[in-house]
A and B are shown apart, each in its own frame.
Chain A
Amino acid sequence: GAVVSQHPSWVICKSGTSVKIECRSLDFQATTMFWYRQFPKQSLMLMATSNEGSKATYEQGVEKDKFLINHASLTLSTLTVTSAHPEDSSFYICSALTGQTLEQYFGPGTRLTVT
């Protein structure tokens, strides 16, 4: 089956610093990837849609200058949380879309803690 990896699996950073999270499709090409965040006891909320070679599409209420998304290749998308604050602490999950069945395969997630 399709495999999606994320790196790092967890990260702790100080307030004001930036953190980059990578999402890779390991055995298939994904022209479209998605970034979600999940707060404790809550469901996943879509942050943005990342398309290879073009600008990401952000959901309403998500600051594009704070959450920078780059989809430079068909197997890699990155999310950079800039000037992180404690309220950005969350579980960030990416997914990659397969073309044939329109099924999304999810990465294992990245736990971000901002101190």
Chain B
Amino acid sequence: KQEVTQIPAALSVPEGENLVLNCSFTDSAIYNLQWFRQDPGKGLTSLLLIQSSQREQTSGRLNASLDKSSGRSTLYIAASQPGDSATYLCAVNGNNRLAFGKGNQVVVIP
């Protein structure tokens, strides 16, 4: 069974600092890995999708890396803004079944 762990569970950073969010998973046999953003009481917004054959994906200030062999992914958010405050979820796709971590709860302090 795939186990997904996200560290740290919660963090606060001052505006302008770079954010580094970590995700680890136990089974490296994956199709892809997705990073999502979830605001309180809301659904999920897809941020980045990395296929198993890729090493990283970038979108604007966001960059996600994937090291499948070691079972790790990292989400970098450059120059954080208060609007980046949210919970970030990592989800690993194995055989079309997503296994989610518990999330990184981020607060960006103005």
Decide whether A and B are members of one complex. yes
Binding site for B on A (CB under 8 A): 6, 32, 34, 42-46, 49, 91, 93, 95, 97, 101-109, 111
A-B pairs with beta carbons under 8 Å apart, 11 shown? A43-B101, A44-B91, A45-B100, A49-B96, A102-B32, A102-B93, A102-B96, A103-B34, A106-B43, A106-B44, A109-B43
Check B96 against A32 for contact (C-beta < 8 Å). Answer: yes
Measured between alpha carbons, how far is A107 from B98 in the docked complex, in Å?
15
Q: For the complex, is B61 an interface residue (Cβ under 8 Å from A)?
A: no
CA distance A93 to B43 in the complex (A): 7
User: Which residues of B are interface residues toward A (Cβ below 8 A)?
Assistant: 31-32, 34, 36, 41-46, 49, 51, 89, 91, 93, 96-103
Query: Looking at the complex, which one of B49, B51, B89, B97 makes contact with A43 (CB distance below 8 Å)?
Result: B89
* Chain A nearest Cβ from B100, distance in angstroms: 4
Say yes or no: A111 contacts B41, CB within 8 Å. yes
Chain B residues whose C-beta falls within 8 Å of the C-beta of A91 in the assembled complex: 41
Closest to B1 in A: A60
Q: Are B97 and A44 closer than 8 Å at their CB atoms?
A: no
Chain B residues, Cβ within 8 Å of A103:
32, 34, 46, 49
**How would you classify the secondary structure of chain A's contact residues: helix, strand, loop or mixed?**
strand
CB pair B49 A42 closer than 8 Å: no
CA distance A32 to B51 in the complex (A): 19
Q: Within 8 Å CB of A43, what residues of B?
A: 89, 100-103
Q: Within the assembled complex, what's the spacing in Å between the Cα atoms of A42 and B43?
A: 13
Chain B residue contacts of A97, Cβ below 8 A: 96
Q: Are B32 and A49 closer than 8 Å at their CB atoms?
A: no
Of A49, A105, A111, the residue contacting B46 (CB under 8 A) is A105
Determine the distance from Cα of A103 to Cα of B98 in the docked complex, in whole angstroms.
Answer: 10
Provide the bound-state CA to CA distance between A103 and B36, in Å. 12
Measured between C-beta atoms, what is the minimum distance from A22 to chain B in Å?
Answer: 14
B97 / chain A contacts, CB cutoff of 8 Å: 46, 49
Q: Could you say which residues of chain B place their CB within 8 Å of the CB of A111?
A: 41
Residue in A43, A101, A107 with the greatest tally of chain B CB atoms within 10 Å: A43
